[in-house]
Structure 1
Amino acid sequence: MRVSTKHKQHYFTVTEYGSQQAALEAARAFRDSLSVDSFRGDYDHDKFQARGESGVLGVVKYMQRGDHVGWVACWQEGKPPHRHQRKKKFSFLQYGQKALEEATAYREKMVRLHSIANTV
């Protein structure tokens, strides 16, 4: 088993530890001794979530022939591992300037309805 810490790798071989179980236990002990920051590095999760120009996670621009014509709410449905991405469009023609508010509210409703906690 190989455990990576930033730029350094540690190997736990069967020949070194005598059995696969002993190597696995040593690797797990080593992993558990590392701090959580070792696994995350300096990755800022919130910074890299897809919020797009809407500023809302899961709500993206609705483009048609290069024109911004509304917003799209995106969420997932189903039980793991068979979750499917779903989306609903909110056009400016139908919703006017409230399209972003409607898309955000609809997405929040669908995320609550189809959260993994509700499907397990």
Structure 2
Amino acid sequence: DSNLGAGLAPDRYTLPGGWGDVMIAGPNDGVRLVDRDMGLSGSALTPIDSFRNAIQLFGKDMGTASSVCSETPAKLLGLNKGRIEKGMDGDIIILGPELDLKYTISGGSVIFKA
């Protein structure tokens, strides 16, 4: 449940598509519409933040959190992703001990390294 502001540093932005000016205070504070009395426009929560929240706030184990944050959305979107098994796309992330993103692997190739 994130919008165009997800992942942006806290600041004021003009987003495309008629959004107008928005203010982002932080990932857990959402995106606020500057021109509309700072009304909440949507979430700025990223997928990795959702994964962390499932574990740290809701007490889910890593397997359940992984399924909820990858397999379930992939199924809903009809994508060949979300599980590690033969025939899947080979997209995975590698996390550090603090659940910080270390690597993103897509199609078997490293596309991000922290």
What band does the TM-score fall into relative to the shorter chain? under 0.3
Structure having greater relative contact order (Cα 8 Å, sep ≥ 6): 1
TM-score for both structures, normalised by structure 2: 0.22
TM-score for both structures, normalised by structure 1: 0.22
If each structure's helix is expressed as a fraction of its own residues, which one has the higher value? 1
